[in-house]
Chains A and B, each alone.
Chain A
Amino acid sequence: MTRRFGSVLALRGVEFLLRAGEVHALLGENGAGKSTLMHIAAGLIRPDAGTIDVHGRPTDLRSPRDARRAGIGMVHQHFTTVQALTVAENLALARGVAPGEWNRGAVLSHPLIQRLQQGLSPHRLVKSLSVGEKQRLEILKALVGGQRILLLDEPTAVLAPAETEELIAWSKAFVAEGGSVVFITHKLDEARAAAGRVTVLRDGSVRLSGPISDHSDQDLAAAMIGVQEPDSDSVIYSKSLSHRELRVAFKNLRFSGHLQTVPRPNDTDTAFHVREGEIVGIAAVEGSGQRELMHTIAGLIAPAEGSGELEVAGPVALVPEDRTTEALILDHSLVENLVLASGADAPWIRSWGRISWDEAREATRRLLQEFDVRAPGPDTPARALSGGNQQKFVMGRALSQRPRVLVAENPTRGLDLHATTAIHARLRLAAAEGAAVIFHSADLDEVLELADRIWVVARGRITEAPSRDREAIGQMMLGVPGAWGEP
């Protein structure tokens, strides 16, 4: 089985070959062209030049329907199920049939497909499914028409470690029966665990291709980012902080949706605190309550009545989750975006609520310079900046308020390695200069890399991780009762 792509705008002369019976890892940084390549294979985008062969035959994939008919199913990075419809209706939609015919044919009774269906009763609404269940529904949708080629675009980004393992095990079973899987990721260990062969993309070109066991991690990393990966062990995190000033402290905190603080084993003190100079990382799978916790600390949500006390020695600055809708107004200029985040005590606010735009403009100019934001000037609309520069601006804006507490939600989501490194450096610098930093990343490895201490939030409960053991934290993120040290 061969599929070839010629030169494409975001891809330059890429050749990609997927064999029957293999899991093929596709590695690359953000923007390397992985998704573009897969979108072409899924019929969502058409290549400007080049050909696609499926089962050895040249095939024209003009729409997702064509791709499905050719036996290709795709699972996107973002869920594409319709929340308000049922499992059965979503499957019918994917097959392009009437709702009553969602289970027509023998596909769904195949043992491997049945394995995906556990707990997914057809009449459940998708919005009631857990993240892991939604992911399985996505795979079902991709295969429900009898497709044997499965494209998984960063399928593990939203999954906890145990769910990731199950997905990898399932993929191996699927290819053992003659299917093929493309597994897109930027995590080397996952690629190694799942795949037999690997292709690495960088800047729209293939940098490496072949059996994964032939290449060391260093080789793969070099192919992905062009330089040797910096040795992350060189940073030392152990700090003695007990004499430092307490910045955030809470106990028995509750808010709408409730958050319970859970004592560590052998620990009577259930209070949580963050001191100046500390970086606390929050490990959690999506929608566990971490967002509410951070917004409560940032003062955006009031704790529920009758809940325990929360003490925050402000000012608090927040770097919100979504850069383009929560942190910035894209159609507004940078200076307006600076004024947006400023309180009534900002130097450019005068009596009667008048704004001195000249002064705000000057402050914006300083910010752009100090935080290395590449932008023509303060009157540039935020939309005109690249994602990395937008985030640097957001980070700089937060830090220029000289916060005593910095709260950051997924501060590097969607950024390339270069910008990620810059943001990490800024977070460390902020802590070094005395701020208490609380951040969450959906990427557990990023939490482990940056944080002095780790909190785990799962199903509205929070506890401090007793160790830095990746496996144990992963279990806790899933809310496995034993992992929480409870009966």
Chain B
Amino acid sequence: MPETEVVILAGGFLAASARAATPLLWAALGEMLTERSGVINLGVEGAMLAGALAGAIGGMAGGPWLGLAAAMAVGGFVSLLFSLVAIVARADQIITGTAVTLGAIGVTGLVARRVFGPEGPGLDLPRLAPLPIPFLHRIPILGEGLFSQAIVFPLGAVVAVLLTWALFRTRWGLTLRAVGEEPAAARTAGVSVPATRLLATVLGGMAAGIGGGSLVLANVGTFTEEMTAGRGFIAIAIVVLGRWHPVGVLLAAFLFGMASAMQFLFQALGLGVPYQIFLMFPYLLALAALAGAVGRTRAPAALGKA
């Protein structure tokens, strides 16, 4: 294979990885924030799915930016519903999350059929344009791969850095971590545990909504039922692999993006491997990541406990 072709292929692979990583990155950053406060939200899948639909509807009505805003709002709303049951009423978080995801599948199915009709919206949704980062986008391979993406990818990276600062340098972050580790201790310090968790969960849902929205508005350009296909659950694995640290989550999300992009790479290389193997790959990688990461890291001590 000639050298130029390798360069094109590598650049294309990185670009595909970044595209696939973007929804995962947003959802995982949100879930990380939520889990840092001691809440595990399996409804993140539902928030993503609802965000995707809202992104499609908003994008159709007023362009990709409105779509993204709608995705964020709806994702936050879905997580608010989760929070009311799991945090305010203190019901089991795992089951509540499962129910929220199930409900989101049902509602998005109903709404999508109503808005788009049985045929779906087609492939004509307006999409976010690629945003070449000045100077950086000229770097060979990396420039095409990482620095000419739609805004949601670089924005996600910026949010990861901001979150690092917020978690470890601000009073809000300190409070959030204390609530996730030892809620009783945080309470005696005058912190409202439910309020802290509710905020972290809703913010997490908003991020998941953006993740779902970017799936539609930056990647696929259309909405199909259950299109998130477990990305929310993969995001939970990414949080573990990223060790509950925003930068770790950023790297882990990109790793999963690469796993998804393998499919395109192998197709481009013309290898005769069944495509279903690649479909399985991210999920298997998530399992392996969980197994490899869990022993060497520690979840917030109060995670999942009412």
Contacts and interface: CB of A to CB of B under 8 A. Distances in A.
- Complex contact flag A–B (Cβ < 8 Å): yes
Interface string B160-193: 0000000011110111011001101110111100
A249 interface: no
B239 to A, nearest CB: 17
Given A82-B178, A85-B181, A92 B171 contact: yes
Given A84-B301, A93-B174, A64 B189 contact: yes
A94 B190 CA distance: 8
Contact of A98 (B174, B185, B191, B301): B174
B174 to A, nearest CB: 5
A93 B173 CA distance: 10
A121 to B, nearest CB: 19
B181 A80 contact: no
B169 A64 contact: no
Contacts of B298: 84
A82 B178 CA distance: 6
Given A44-B188, A89-B177, 11 more contacts: A65-B190, A80-B185, A80-B189, A81-B185, A82-B178, A82-B181, A85-B177, A85-B178, A89-B174, A99-B169, A99-B170
A63 interface: yes
Most A CB contacts (10 A, CB to CB) among B174, B182, B186, B188 go to B188
B190 A99 contact: no
Interface of B: 168-171, 173-175, 177-178, 181-182, 184-186, 188-191, 298, 300-301
A99 B168 contact: yes
Describe A's contact surface by its main secondary structure: loop
Nearest to B172: A98
A76 interface: yes
A100 B169 contact: yes
A422 B81 CA distance: 50
Contact of B169 (A78, A84, A98): A98
A42 B170 CA distance: 26
A412 to B, nearest CB: 24
B188 A80 contact: yes
A46 to B, nearest CB: 14
Nearest to A68: B190
Nearest to B188: A80
A281 B80 CA distance: 54
A97 interface: yes
A79 B182 CA distance: 11
Given A89-B174, A99-B168, A100-B169, A76 B188 contact: yes
Interface in A68-90: 68, 74, 76, 78-85, 89
Interface string A310-350: 00000000000000000000000000000000000000000
A376 interface: no
B188 A97 contact: no
A98 B177 contact: no
A84 B185 CA distance: 12
A80 B184 contact: yes
Contacts of A84: 177, 181-182, 298, 300-301
B174 A92 contact: yes
Given A44-B188, A76-B188, A80-B188, A93 B178 contact: yes
Report, nearest first, the 9 A-B pairs whose CB atoms are least far apart: A64-B190, A65-B190, A80-B185, A80-B188, A98-B171, A84-B181, A82-B182, A82-B181, A82-B178
B178 A97 contact: no
A96 interface: yes
A89 B300 CA distance: 16
23 contacts: A43-B190, A63-B190, A64-B188, A65-B190, A74-B188, A80-B182, A82-B177, A82-B185, A83-B301, A84-B181, A84-B182, A84-B301, A92-B171, A93-B174, A96-B171, A96-B189, A97-B171, A98-B170, A99-B168, A99-B171, A99-B173, A99-B174, A100-B169
A93 B169 contact: no
A79 B186 CA distance: 11
A151 to B, nearest CB: 12
Contacts of A76: 188
A99 B171 CA distance: 7
Q: Which of B170, B171, B181, B300 has the most CB of A within 10 A?
A: B171
B190 A96 contact: yes
Contacts of B191: 93
Interface in A23-60: 43-44
Given A98-B169, A99-B174, A93 B189 contact: yes
A94 B182 CA distance: 13
Nearest to A92: B174
A63 B187 CA distance: 10
A99 B165 CA distance: 11
A68 B171 CA distance: 17
A96 B175 CA distance: 8
A43 B188 CA distance: 9
A287 to B, nearest CB: 17
A99 B170 CA distance: 6
B189 A83 contact: no
A64 to B, nearest CB: 4
Interface string A94-126: 101111100000000000000000000000000
Contacts of B184: 78, 80
A64 B175 CA distance: 15
Nearest to A39: B188
A63 B171 CA distance: 18
Contacts of B171: 92, 96-99
A83 B181 contact: yes
A47 to B, nearest CB: 18
Contacts of A44: 188
Contacts of A81: 182, 185
Contacts of B185: 79-82
